[in-house]
Amino acid sequence: MPSEPPPILLEPLIREKPWGGDWLSKRLGKPVMIGGRAGESWEAASVAGVSNPIREGPGAGGTLEALLREDGPAIIGREGPSLPLLFKYIHARDHLSVQVHPDSEIARRHTGRPEGKTEAWRILAAEEGATARLGLDSRSDRGAFQRALDEGRAEDCLVRHTARPGDTYLIPAGCIHAIGGGVLIAEIQEASDITYRFADWGRLPDSSADSRPIDLEKAFESARLDLAGPFSWTPAEVTTQGAVRRERFVSDAFIFEALDGDGEIEVERPGGFEIISVAGGETLIRSGGGEASLRLGETALLPKGKTPLILRMRGALVLRSYLPTA
C-alpha cells in the first residue's frame, strides 16, 4: 500500500424509520426501500458492529470495520475497527422523536463506552413551513418541561427554527432536539448511536424495525437544560476560488466544510482522514493516493495524508468532514 492510500468508495447502509420517506432515493439516488420509509443513509460508519461495505479502493469487497481492524493506522491514523466520525443523510417525512444524546461521561456510565454525541446538520431540502426544534425556550425549566411531557406537548417547550436549505446547525451533546417533518439533512456526528427519548409523537415502541423506548430517567440525566443556543452554526471562514464557494465550520468535535459550485480547486489537508460526500452534482477528487469520481449521493473515505486535495466540481455540493487535529 502506498504511503497515501487511494480513496475508499463506500456503499450506503439504508435504515428504515417510522418517520422516513422516499427523498433519499428521489433526491440522492439511494436504493429504493419497499414501503418508502427510508429514514437514514449511513454513508461512512464503523461503530458498534455497523460498518459500510467497501465498493472500491483498499479493502474492496469487505467492510470498513474489517479494513480498519487490519490497517487502521495507515487509513485513519489509529488502531482499532472504529471510525471516530459518522456521516449520514436523513429524510424526515414525519417528525422525529423529542430526544437527547449523552456526553461521553454519561454514555460511559450507562454503556461502558465513551460514545458521546455532538452532531451537526446541513439542511439540503425542506418543505414550506418545515422546522427543527433545538433546546428549551427561555420560559421553560425542568418542571414546565415535565408538565408538557405529561400533557403530550413536549415540542411546545422547544425553540422552533424554520428549516431552510443551506442552513447549518451544531447540536452539542445534551441538547434536547427534534427534527421536524419535511426535511432532507446531511449529518456529521461523533461516532455514537445512543439516543434517549423524551417523547415520540404517540408512536408505539415497536412500530418499526427499531425499538423506540422512552427513557425519561436517562434522558433527563443526559439533558443540559441550560443550553440556550443559538444553535445556528456560523462558518469560521468563507472563501471563494473561481466559481466555488467554500464554507468552513469549526467545533471541538469535528470540522465540517460545504463547497458549492463549478471548477477545479485545491485545498490543504489537515493530515488525518476525511469523509467526502457529494450532495449535489458530481466531482472528481484527487490526492496523493490517487483519484476517484463521485456522483450525486456517493461518499468516500479519504485516508490520512498531507498532499493537497484537488476537487474538480461540476455543479457540485461537496460536504467534507474531518477531525480538528490530525
| pLDDT tens figures, 266-297 | 999 989 999 999 999 999 999 999 999 999 99
Same domain, 164 and 18: yes
| pLDDT tens figures, 189-203 | 999 989 999 999 877
Q: In this predicted structure, what is the pLDDT of residue 3?
A: 75
The total number of structural domains that make up the chain: 2
| pLDDT tens figures, 114-128 | 889 999 999 999 999
Rounded Cα gap, residues 186 and 126, in angstroms = 12
Same domain, 304 and 247: yes
Q: In this predicted structure, what is the pLDDT of residue 206?
A: 46
Rounded Cα gap, residues 304 and 314, in angstroms = 25
We report the CATH number of the domain holding residue 293 as 2.60.120.10
pLDDT bracket for residue 240 (50, 70, 90): very high
Expressed in percent and rounded to 5, the helix, strand and coil fractions of the chain are 15, 45, 40
Mean pLDDT of 42-60: 96
Instruction: Work out the end-to-end distance of the chain between its first and last CA atoms, rounded to an integer number of angstroms.
Output: 20
Same domain, 111 and 245: no
pTM, two decimal places: 0.95
| pLDDT tens figures, 81-130 | 999 999 999 999 999 999 999 999 999 998 888 889 999 999 999 999 99
Same domain, 211 and 242: no
Rounded Cα gap, residues 317 and 280, in angstroms = 5
Is 51 within the bounds of a domain?
A: yes
For residue 66 the three cell numbers come to 474489517
Among the listed residues 197, 246, 269, 320, the single catalytic one is: 197
Mean pLDDT of 30-56: 92
Q: In this predicted structure, what is the pLDDT of residue 48?
A: 86
Is 317 within the bounds of a domain?
A: yes
Same domain, 143 and 284: no
Instruction: Determine whether 197 is an active site residue.
Output: yes
Rounded Cα gap, residues 174 and 324, in angstroms = 21
Rounded Cα gap, residues 78 and 68, in angstroms = 9
Mean pLDDT of 302-319: 97
Same domain, 139 and 270: no
Same domain, 217 and 241: no
Whether the predicted pLDDT of 249 surpasses 60: yes
Q: In this predicted structure, what is the pLDDT of residue 204?
A: 57
pLDDT bracket for residue 227 (50, 70, 90): confident
Domain of 276, in residue numbers: 237-322
∠222-161-224 over CA atoms, to 5°? 15
Same domain, 131 and 53: yes
User: Closest by alpha carbon to 233, among 187, 171, 311, 140?
Assistant: 171
∠270-123-299 over CA atoms, to 5°? 50
Pairing of strands 85-92, 38-44: antiparallel
| CB neighbour list of residue 252: distance below 8 Å, 6 or more residues apart | 118, 324
Q: In this predicted structure, what is the pLDDT of residue 207?
A: 46
Whether the predicted pLDDT of 208 surpasses 70: no
Q: How far is CA 189 from CA 111, 174, 217, 290, in A?
A: 18, 14, 24, 27
Q: In this predicted structure, what is the pLDDT of residue 115?
A: 84
Q: In this predicted structure, what is the pLDDT of residue 98?
A: 96
Same domain, 39 and 97: yes
Same domain, 150 and 288: no
Whether the predicted pLDDT of 1 surpasses 50: no
Same domain, 242 and 207: no
* Residues found in the chain: 326
Same domain, 214 and 252: no
Whether the predicted pLDDT of 312 surpasses 70: yes
Domain boundary among 222, 253, 275: 222
Is 231 within the bounds of a domain?
A: no
Whether the predicted pLDDT of 220 surpasses 90: yes
Domain boundary among 197, 222, 247: 222
User: Rounded to the nearest 10 degrees, how much is the dihedral formed by the CA atoms of 310, 314, 38, 300?
Assistant: -20
Is 131 within the bounds of a domain?
A: yes
User: Closest by alpha carbon to 40, among 94, 88, 86, 97?
Assistant: 88
User: Closest by alpha carbon to 146, among 231, 227, 219?
Assistant: 219
Burial pattern 70-92, b for ≥16 Cβ within 10 A else e, equals ebbebbbbeeebbbbbbbbbbbb
Domain boundary among 196, 222, 248: 222
Is 47 within the bounds of a domain?
A: yes
pLDDT top residue among 204 and 253: 253
Is 229 within the bounds of a domain?
A: no
